[in-house]
Chains A and B, each alone.
Chain A
Amino acid sequence: MIGLVVVSHSGTLADGVAELAGQMAPDVRIVPSGGDGSGGLGTDYLAVAEAISQADTGDGVVVLFDLGSAKMVAEMAAEESAGEVLVVDAPLVEGAVAAAVAAQGDAGLPQVAAAASGAASVGAESVGSSAEPETARTPEAADGSTVDSVSAEVLLTNEVGLHARPAALVARSLTGLDARVVVRFGDQEADATSVLALMGLGAPGGGRVEVTATGPDAPEALRRVTALAARDFDE
């Protein structure tokens, strides 16, 4: 499983980001490395190098950073590391969450890195997507006929709705399936494999969402999502 390292000038910030990302990825090693090593703001090369070796289970590590010099320290430590390490330029919070969820779903190093670096655009899409023109609610093939898709209306009976942890469970449950799953709430929709997009819907407890799955594994994908919701996302 891919590990994560969060490098920040601030120990508090690194710890907080690791905590937040860890909530959605209980099995991923997420190691924070913040501060100058003596209680002040800064970055500590040796601490970052140590964090990388702690995070590495042998499959590789993705390193996220906050500001410029943290990147340089991370890159030096990555070059010196014996394992496979990618330093990824991504928004720190969103990137860490997206990477953690991808790692939890057993994604490989390039996929986890891509999840982190793609987090910015995902966040941007999920915010304010209500302004987008009405899109077809059922995917259509080129000839106008509908392709294989299944959908279900799901009542969110859990307390927090599609908040962070439930969203992470939904995204993770779809790992490995060949299906495109869209969750619709009100006039917004989100790719169900994106935790951030799901959270961006703001679907609260008691809300109703429509889940539509398309592709060869669509029935299984729909079954997994509805089963999660039926179990109140294991809350």
Chain B
Amino acid sequence: MGCTAERVAEALRAVARVVAEHREELVRLDREIGDGDHGENLNRGFTALVSKLDGDVPGTPGAVLKSAATTLISVVGGAAGPLYGTAFLRAATSVGDAAELDAGAVAGALRAALEGVVARGKAAVGDKTMVDALTPAVAAASSVAATGGDVAGVLAAAAEAAEQGAESTVPLVARKGRASYLGERSAGHLDPGARSTALLLRTLAGSAR
């Protein structure tokens, strides 16, 4: 079965629940090497998104993603607002007005999201950012989609790769974002943006099962 607007909205509601559960963890990670607002900001953004979806679920998966983008951009603030907002916006553009998304469309949306994040934040793999989680996730998703996997398989592979990618940020010295001001002292900490990206993809994968 493909991925309808209603299912995308359901998945985003699940993300909101997970972000709320992990709010403290993300705040703690961000306090270690950033300004400490990541958990708070994301939680505020996804809470607002749920309120919006409770009012009305747009008709296509793309429209749901676009609604998420505009909410996150305006409500989240910090770096995460523009970055996640751009990711969702590019994903929305990538899927167009299709009524249902298949595995290829989902993998394509993830790739578009990554390209948006890179364009917005100018980060590369190894800079200790969400790009370190998203880049391997996109590669894994594309490879599963190319070999005939379904949406659940694509997202499961993406989540697995994102988690490993997030873990890989621990020894890195940050070269982007607030953590980069810490220099060597940023090493030894998990990047909060990479962590939230992995959480988000794991939740999407769970919703697609």
A-B interaction: yes
Show the binding face of A for B, using Cβ within 8 Å.
36-37, 41-46, 67-69, 72-73, 75-76
A204 to B86, CA, bound (A): 51
The answer to whether A42 and B78 have CB atoms under 8 Å apart is: yes
Chain A residues near B81: list those with CB within 8 A.
43, 45, 69, 73
Q: Within 8 Å CB of A37, what residues of B?
A: 77
Q: Which residues of B contact A72 (CB under 8 A)?
A: 79, 82-83, 120-121
Q: Which of B40-78 contact A (CB under 8 A)?
A: 41, 73-74, 77-78
User: Closest approach, in angstroms, between the C-beta of A78 and any C-beta of chain B?
Assistant: 12
Top 8 nearest A-B pairs (CB, nearest first) are A69-B79, A72-B82, A42-B77, A36-B77, A46-B74, A45-B73, A69-B78, A45-B74
For B36, the closest partner residue in chain A by CB is: A41
- Closest B residue, CB atoms, query A40: B37
- The answer to whether B79 touches A76, judged by C-beta atoms less than 8 angstroms apart, is no
Q: Whole-angstrom distance between the alpha carbons of A69 and B123 in the complex?
A: 13
Residue of B nearest to A74 (CB): B82
Q: Does B185 contact A (CB under 8 A)?
A: no
Contact A76 B177 (CB under 8 A): no
Q: Number of B residues whose C-beta is below 8 Å from A?
A: 18
Give the secondary structure class of B's interface. helix
Contact A42 B74 (CB under 8 A): no
CA–CA, A84 and B35, complex, Å: 32
Please measure, in the bound complex, the distance between the C-alpha atom of A37 and the C-alpha atom of B78, giving whole angstroms.
12
Residues of the B chain whose Cβ atoms lie less than 8 Å from the Cβ of A68: 79, 176-178
Known: A42-B37, A72-B121. 7 other contacts (CB 8 A): A37-B77, A41-B35, A42-B78, A45-B77, A69-B178, A73-B82, A76-B86
Q: Are B41 and A42 in contact (CB under 8 A)?
A: yes
Interface residues of B (CB under 8 A from A): 35, 37, 41, 73-74, 77-79, 81-83, 85-86, 120-121, 176-178
Distance (whole angstroms) from the CB of B122 to the closest CB of chain A: 9
In the complex, which residue of chain A has the Cβ closest to the Cβ of B80? Answer: A69
Q: Jot down 6 A-B pairs with beta carbons below 8 A, ordered by A.
A: A44-B77, A45-B81, A67-B178, A68-B178, A69-B178, A75-B82
B88 to chain A, nearest CB (A): 13
C-alpha spacing A75/B119, complex, angstroms:
11
- Contact across chains for B73 and A76 when beta carbons are under 8 A apart: yes
**Cα-based distance from A41 to B73 in the complex (angstroms):** 16
Determine the residue in chain B with the shortest Cβ distance to A49.
Answer: B74
Q: A156–B60 Cα gap in the complex (Å)?
A: 70
Tell me the complex Cα distance, A43–B83, Å. Answer: 13
CA distance A73 to B178 in the complex (A): 15
Q: How many angstroms between the C-alpha atoms of A185 and B59 in the bound complex? A: 70
Bound: A36/B76 CA distance, A:
9
Q: Within the assembled complex, what's the spacing in Å between the Cα atoms of A43 and B86?
A: 16
- Chain B residue with Cβ nearest A36: B77
Chain A residue, CB-CB nearest to B70: A45
List chain A residues, Cβ under 8 A from B86: 76
Chain B contacts for A76, CB-based, 8 A:
73, 82, 85-86, 120
**With A36-B77, A76-B120 given, is the CB distance from A69 to B176 under 8 Å?**
no
B120–A75 contact, CB under 8 A?
Answer: yes
Distance, CA A73 to CA B74, complexed state (A): 10
- With CB as the reference atom, state the residue of chain A lying closest to B89: A76
The distance from the CB of B60 to the nearest CB of chain A, in whole angstroms, is 22
Chain B residues, CB < 8 A from A69: 77-79, 81-82, 177-178
